[in-house]
Structure 1
Amino acid sequence: MSVTDVLKESLHYPFIEKEKIIILGIFYALISAINLGISYLISTPLMTSSSSTLINETATTFYQQINHIFAQIPTTNLYESIILGILMILLGILATGYDYRVIKEAINKNNFLPKFNNFLLMFIEGLKITVVEIAYDILPIILLVTGFYIMTYGGIFLTIGSILSCVGIICAILMVLIQIMAINHMIANDGKITFAFKVKDILNIINSISWIRYIGALFMLVIICVIIGIAASMIISFIMLGVMMISSQVILTSLVTLVIMGLFITPFLSLFCDRTLGSLYNERVKDLNVDEKYIIK
């Protein structure tokens, strides 16, 4: 199947069972609403504080200044934010678990959306993807943070930090390319997390697809998502104007915007991307010397 055919099929995929898009959208809408609630709980006390209160002239370090700023937030707000944050993470992992199932169906070449059932298993599946993503992100983050930190010393350290940061960026791009196929390889092998770190096998799989074809497909995927995002933003802007004419409350306008994005746009893009990535995995050459003990039938 050509890359264009993969993308076309993936664009039609979310509309096979529209009710499941709405169910997935509820997850993303709740995540967006909770995120807005956390922002409101933290930012409102800071916005009502005077600038003189927020700035601590006796603070000698950046961390002391941050601690001083957080001291302006009521303890109740912090506790509520922590609780909401935990709930948001749990919902996010569940949504990621559904991504796992969508990719699995793509690898199986099934033309239906997976069911929303066995939420404990779905949570574990989402947790597996999260663990793999974190593992692949650790090295680039260390390089970037270290590089930017060294740059603050100036002089020769500015050059050293810049080089380290550039290495971190290149490493991040490479890790993302490997990570995507690593997640697919894990899912194709009964979710065994060790398969996500069989780097030699994963590189062989990408080679069999062709790096140019693989990167080209991801590039086209990003372009399509950006176009859909821009079009959606323009439509939502008109809706926002209507809401603002009815109510001048900024928090209400933001909530309506986030709920619309969460219910319709985010789940569509999520399903589109998952289907594309799973289908790309199927483009590998199957007779490679790759450890695939369990390929889903």
Structure 2
Amino acid sequence: MILDIYKDALEYSAKDWKTLVVLGVVALFSFLLLPAFIITGYNYRVINNAVHGIINGRDPLPDFDDIIDIFVDGVKVVIVQIAYLIVPVILFIIFAVIAGNLTGVASSAVMIIGCLITLIVGVVACLMSQMGLCHMAYNDGAFTKAFDFKEIKEVIDEIGWFECIATYIGLIIITLVIAVVVTTLIGLVFTVFGISGAALGASPSGILAFGVFINWLITMFIVGPYLSIFNARSIGLLYTMQI
């Protein structure tokens, strides 16, 4: 089932390359902060489609319209994500303060234990936040449903904690692999061009600089948006495993 989710999400994310470019253009201005909420809101729409759809269905990518609604959804998503991260952040700060008041082996031991506990709590918090967003989407965008811990835990229990964590880790691995492979392939192509250009008397630095620029363009306008949709779709489909 997990592999079916990945297969569906990988195919789904490539359905409309124009949408990827649009998201890339929006991401280009994310430093202004407001566009970042639009991207987050669009990914929430992807989740919403997924939780109301089925694996290997024919769901289209969400329309990129009603920017105000997308922006509002994006703000809600960011609030949910920040709220869930508060606990692991506070835990880490507490252990850091305690370790700071100790010395030698005791300080290192407390810090190591603190990092391990924070990591475990952080993974659970991330999973809860993702399922919380799915639960909110499934309940017609009801904001409080993102924090209905009892219902969200029941959802995860129904799916299986192992399956959820395994799917989440798999998403991280797939995302990193795709990003690294694409970047490496483009880098190798322009490295070859640079070497060939040098043999012909051209400036290899100019060719390599152009390669870096092309790499950035592809990452910004295609790979980045593709992976964000892939992750959102996968999480939404994971939620449907308990319905």
Q: Same fold (TM over 0.5)?
A: yes
Partner of 2:89: 141
CA deviation string 1:91-120 (max 9, x = no partner): 111100000111111122161011111111
Q: Which has the larger radius of gyration?
A: 1
Q: Count residues in correspondence.
A: 228
Decide whether the 8 Å contact of 1:29 with 1:261 is kept in 2.
no
Separation in 1, partners of 2:82, 2:75: 10
Indicate whether 1:94 and 2:44 are aligned.
Answer: no
Residue 204 of structure 2 corresponds to which residue in structure 1? 245
Asked if structure 2 preserves the Cα contact closer than 8 Å seen for 1:143 and 1:168, the reply is: yes
Distance 1:157 1:231, change over 3 A: closer
1:143–1:164 contact (8 Å) kept in structure 2: yes
What is residue 271 of structure 1 aligned with on the other side?
229
Partner in structure 1 of residue 198 of structure 2: none
Q: 1:27-176 counterparts in 2 under 5 A?
A: 27-31=26-30, 85=31, 87=32, 89-109=33-53, 111-155=59-103, 156-176=106-126
Which secondary structure does the structure 2 equivalent of 1:282 belong to? Answer: helix
Instruction: Give the % identical residues.
Output: 28
Q: Which amino acid aligns with 1:125?
A: D
Residue 223 of structure 1: aligned partner: 173
State the alpha-carbon separation in 1 of the partners of residues 98 and 214 from structure 2. 43
CA 1:104 to 1:246, structure 2 compared with 1: closer, same or farther past 3 Å? same
What is the alpha-carbon distance in structure 1 between the residues aligned to residue 167 and residue 109 of structure 2? Answer: 35
| Matched residue, 2:24 | 25
**Unaligned 5+ residue runs, structure 1?**
32-84, 287-297
| C-alpha deviation, 1:20, in angstroms | 1.1
> Does the C-alpha gap of structure 1 residues 152 and 249 become closer, same or farther in structure 2, counting only changes over 3 Å?
farther
Q: Relative to total residues, which structure has the larger helix share, 1 or 2?
A: 2
Q: Deviations 1:110-162 (Å, cap 9, x if unpaired)?
A: 61011111111111000111000000001111111332343234424444444
Contact conserved, 2:187 with 2:212, CA < 8 A, in 1? no
C-alpha separation in 1, matches of 2:212 and 2:6 = 32
The root-mean-square deviation of aligned C-alpha atoms, in Å, is 2.4
CA distance in 2, matches of 1:224, 1:144: 28
Residues 97/159 of structure 1: CA separation in 2 closer, same or farther (3 Å cut):
same
| CA pair 219-158 structure 1, distance change in 2 beyond 3 A | closer
Distance 1:210 1:240 in 2: 45
Letter in 1 for 2:131: M
